[in-house]
Amino acid sequence: MSERVFLYSDEYQRYDMGADHPLRPSRLVNTYRLLSAYSAFDGVVVAHPKPCSLDWLGTAHSQEYIDAVDRLSTGEHVPFPGRYGFGHGDNPVFPDMYEASLLYTGASLDAAEAICSGEARASFNISGGLHHAHFDRAAGFCVFNDCVVAINRLRERFDRVAYIDIDVHHGDGVQEAYYSDPSVLTISIHESGQTLFPGTGFVKEIGEGGGAGYSVNLPLWPYTDDEAWYYAWSTGAMPILRAFRPEAICLECGTDPHYLDPLARLCLTAQGWLKAIDDVMSIGVPVVALGGGGYNATTVPRMWALAYGSIFGVQLADETPTAFEHHAKIPTLRDTEEPEIAMHDRDYARGYARQMIEEVRSRLFSYHGL
Ligand SMILES: [Zn+2]
């Protein structure tokens, strides 16, 4: 029995929103090639994912929306596609959109299945983590919410599941799905909705009804650096995660908090970001890891390789293999330079982080006996 399952298919590249769109399929291919060059798959099951079944997809989306995606994908005329979130810009309709979306969602379901069946203690689908998709609407490059499908599968086996989202954008679609459900704790650490899409994820969004206290948001200001981010993570997120005593964790590993990411303005290094993943793995429960955002071609593969090493317990030398075709552009996994941040921006972001943590403590800690 292998305890680690990695989901991968060349077919992931069909999720292609066009040459000018920032979500490039090469992010996934180059991550796979980098890991291959390391021989990092030795002792790991690399499984070919199945498309998500309609029964499972229906646990996350309305039938009307699923039908609309299918029809738009085949080129059928659907009046007012904007009501389903489609149009020019973030969510264009693209060829084979339905099949491509079923595949990345099925890969996350398979990743959850590997945990639930006892086959694996950790699984990783880099094509998943599309956390912005809503019940009946596409958003933020996301068509189907694979995170919600994976969590729903985990919930069949485990009573308490934690969803951890370290993408720079708020994990709004997942938060919505469990907003009144205390069996799924959602924690998202992100750039503030005041300055970044999707404009939500404030501390005051704590859940409702029986779910009050089980939605945790840590919004941060542009130019937040490793130190302030980890301070917020370790004093805001980790105490609640431990107190919740999850039986399984779904971890969304968006790489876009990196300082070189073109779509957002947090200022993390790869190694600063990795500390949160190490902390999640230290909890010691089964983990379904998913990809997510990340739009700088030279940071995404190395950050997911670092995540892979932490999640699967594989040691990877910091210098990338010379056999890796992008070795010259990505010579090391960790950053060797620091982001340049003006003193007043750094200080403001640190003060903002302290303020947010005070707010998290006062609004949320009492729900968890802290
Ligand atoms: Zn993102």
Q: How confident is the model at residue 2 (pLDDT cuts 50, 70, 90)?
A: low
Question: Cα of 44 to ligand 1 centre, how many Å?
Answer: 27
Burial of 19 (0-12, 13-18, 19+ CB in 10 A): exposed
Q: Check residue 133 and give its pLDDT.
A: 98
Domain interval for residue 226: 4-368
Q: Check residue 88 and give its pLDDT.
A: 82
Burial of 345 (0-12, 13-18, 19+ CB in 10 A): middle
pLDDT at 60 over 50: yes
Q: Which amino acid is at 177?
A: A
Task: Give the total number of structural domains in the chain.
Answer: 1
Q: Residue by residue, what is the 3-state secondary structure of the chain?
A: CCCEEEECCHHHHHCCCCCCCCCCCHHHHHHHHHHHHCCCCCCCEEECCCCCCHHHHCCCCCHHHHHHHHHHHCCCCCCCHHHHCCCCCCCCCCCCHHHHHHHHHHHHHHHHHHHHCCCCCEEEECCCCCCCCECCECECCECCCHHHHHHHHHHHHCCCEEEEECCCCCCHHHHHHCCCCCCEEEEEEEECCCCCCCCCCCCCCCCCHHHCCCEEEEEECCCCEHHHHHHHHHHHHHHHHHHHCCCEEEEECCCCCECCCCCCCCEECHHHHHHHHHHHHHCCCCEEEECCCCCCCCCHHHHHHHHHHHHHCCCCCCECCCCCCCCCCCCECCCCCCCCCCHHHHHHHHHHHHHHHHHHHHHHHHHHCC
Contact 184, 155 (CB under 8 A): yes
- Average pLDDT in the chain: 97
Q: Check residue 243 and give its pLDDT.
A: 98
Contact 164, 237 (CB under 8 A): yes
Active site residues: 132
Looking up residue 269, the CATH number of its domain turns out to be 3.40.800.20
Identify whether 79 is preceded by a cis peptide bond (ω within 30 of 0): no
Question: Cα of 77 to ligand 1 centre, how many Å?
Answer: 30
- Taking only the tens place, the pLDDT of each residue in 289-337 is 999 999 999 999 999 999 999 999 999 999 999 999 999 999 999 999 9
Question: Cα of 165 to ligand 1 centre, how many Å?
Answer: 10
Question: Cα of 167 to ligand 1 centre, how many Å?
Answer: 5
Q: What percentage of the chain carries pLDDT values higher than 70?
A: 99
- Taking only the tens place, the pLDDT of each residue in 325-370 is 999 999 999 999 999 999 999 999 999 999 999 999 999 999 999 9
pLDDT at 205 over 70: yes
pLDDT at 1 over 50: no
- Taking only the tens place, the pLDDT of each residue in 186-204 is 999 999 999 999 999 999 9
Contact 352, 220 (CB under 8 A): yes
Question: Cα of 187 to ligand 1 centre, how many Å?
Answer: 15
Planar angle of CA 148, 252, 366, nearest 5 degrees:
80
User: Stretch 134-140: mean pLDDT, rounded?
Assistant: 97
- Paired with 188 in beta bridges are 165, 217
- Taking only the tens place, the pLDDT of each residue in 69-93 is 999 999 999 999 999 999 988 999 9
Question: Cα of 1 to ligand 1 centre, how many Å?
Answer: 34
Ion ligand 1: residues, Cβ under 5 Å: 167, 169, 254, 256, 293
pLDDT at 143 over 60: yes
Contact 219, 225 (CB under 8 A): no
